[in-house]
Amino acid sequence: MFKHKKNLITFLSILLIVGFLLTSLASYFISLASLRDQMTHGELPLTSDTVYSEIQRDLLRPIFISSLMASDTFLRDWVINEEQNHDAVIRYLTEIKQTYNTITSFFVSDQTRNYYHPDGLVKQVQEAEERDSWYFRVQKMSDDFEINVDIDQANNDTMTVFINYRVHDYKGNFIGATGVGLAVDAVQKLIDQYQETYNRDIFLIDRLGNIKLSNTSDKQRQQQTAQLNIFLKSKEFLTQMTSTETVALQSKIDGHPISLNTRFIKEFDWYLVVIQSELEGTAKLLQTLLINLLFCAVVTTIILFIINRVISSYQEDIEHMATTDKLTGLYNRQALDLLVNPILLDQSRKPENLSLLLLDIDHFKEINDTYGHLAGDAVLKNLARLITSRLRKTDIICRWGGEEFLMLLKGCTLDTASNMAEELRLAVINNPTSSQNQTLPITVSIGVAQYQPEDTRDKLIGKADRALYQAKANGRNRVVSA
């Protein structure tokens, strides 16, 4: 083992030395090239794409949240049922606000014109009220949502980026507007963060060239923005920008050459503008850096490939050991935590029948005390084989405790799961364990529970556990449904 490890380290060291030597030599012999062309067609488009991805991640998240709210069956059913129990929707909006860390969440009913907010029923929107014009605009628009920068009446008139999403009933009829809001200050901080990260001036502008958001954190940049604003509103630039989704060009702002790249953000109907001031004499250094990175990437790829081949087998073994019960070969409790949580999350998006069985071997301690622990192990392994052979491949089976087994059955109602549990109970009786020339008949008690929309993982398991306790209290060797 040590010899192989030493050879590997030696080989990797040689690769690193050769790699960095090649990058240094390549840097030395790189000729001077055009910085302007590199910026315009290399760095800035890459930065623009990266910032665009960051904006989608950070700013489009509220759109996704609003979309979930608009399609939430609870919200639609609550409106269809004539908005009974206002506290229910207020709790719902509060949960949305706290869960997703938004500055606000809201719902306006088209039937009653009530404006609901985490703080309660704020008001009734009216067409004659100018501050309510946004709602009647959303009511008439054909798109599913809009992004609107406006004051939040329910939050001390804080300037807020609202996602206003249309809500429809199951027949497609408009029944209200919902969504969330982000503080403009928070969005501004994101833009400033992008500027610090990528060392570029970043702006979001509308189709008329008006700057909506920008990094204007110091006086010098504010002065540049004033000059830039004139350029962005020029007819030549606007024609070029709106004619395609991306534009790469060079110009001068206040006598200083710049490279500029734009990217259309369809979801906001805004344009992302990334600007880099050109610095003379850095072309050779920049291109040398790029070549060095290229060689380093090749060397790193080779190293990672070799390391991956060496450790992949160890990783597989470790993962298997971490998620599998050594005695029975079933999933262990840790693996169940990893598997159940995604399934319960899917239930909120695509509800389906889901049931859980909790099985316990009756009087297992007596088996260990009478026949020894080897016999007990044989019982556990035989029971694991029986469960695996009786259930479907899509079912999740794990060893929950010492003599307890948990089974999660997808697509099963409570009645179906109870029938499966009963078949399993009979199979255990009819297939006693043989160990050390002895036959060990056993029985099992099984608790059955069906998932309900309000159930958490622990609540679902708790229901099955109480049913199991009832089965034992009723005399064992039976199935009880929660």
Which is more confident, 197 or 430? Answer: 430
Q: Is 1 a residue whose pLDDT tops 50?
A: no
Domains: count for the chain: 2
Phi, psi torsion values for 474, nearest 5 degrees? -85, 5
The CATH number assigned to the domain holding 432 equals 3.30.70.270
> So what's the pLDDT on residue 460?
93
Domain boundary among 151, 185, 219: 185
What pLDDT, on the 0 to 100 scale, is given for residue 280? 45
In a domain, 125, yes or no: yes
Beta bridge partners of 359: 405, 446
How many other C-beta atoms lie within 10 A of the C-beta of residue 284?
A: 14
Of 300 and 191, the structure prediction assigns the larger pLDDT to 191
Q: What is the pLDDT of residues 83-127, one digit of tens each?
A: 989 999 999 999 999 998 888 999 999 999 999 999 999 899 999
Tokens of 28: 């030395």
Question: Which of the residue ranges 195-209, 212-226, 299-313, 456-470 would you say has the lowest mean pLDDT?
Answer: 212-226
Output the CA torsion 178→184→189→195 (10° steps): 100
Q: Establish if 235 belongs to a structural domain.
A: no
Instruction: Identify the domain boundary among 185, 211, 244.
Output: 185
**What pLDDT, in 10s, does the model give residues 21-35?**
676 666 655 644 455
Q: Are 330 and 398 in contact (CB under 8 A)?
A: yes
Q: Does the pLDDT of residue 419 top 90, yes or no?
A: yes
Most confident of 44-58, 133-147, 192-206, 210-224: 133-147
Asked whether residue 137 is assigned to any structural domain, the reply reads: yes
Does 58 reside within a domain?
no
User: Does 205 map to a domain?
Assistant: no
Name the domain boundary from 185, 215, 244. Answer: 185
159 assigned to some structural domain: yes
The whole-number pLDDT of residue 151 equals 75
Kindly report, residue by residue over 169-191, the tens digit of the pLDDT: 999 999 999 999 887 666 677 77
Q: How far apart are CA 279 and CA 283, in angstroms?
A: 8
Does residue 82 surpass a pLDDT of 60?
yes
452 lies in a domain? yes
pTM: 0.42
Instruction: For residue 298, name the pLDDT band (cuts at 50, 70, 90).
Output: confident
Q: Does residue 64 lie within any of the structural domains? A: no
Percent of residues, the chain, with pLDDT higher than 70: 79
Domain that includes residue 129, residue range: 72-185
Q: Of 136-145, 245-254, 274-283, 461-470, which gets the smallest average pLDDT?
A: 274-283
Show Cβ contacts of residue 223 under 8 Å, excluding neighbours closer than 6 positions: none
Q: What is the pLDDT of residues 62-73, one digit of tens each?
A: 888 999 999 999
Give me the mean pLDDT over the 410-438 stretch: 92
Query: For residue 88, what is the domain's CATH number?
Result: 3.30.450.20
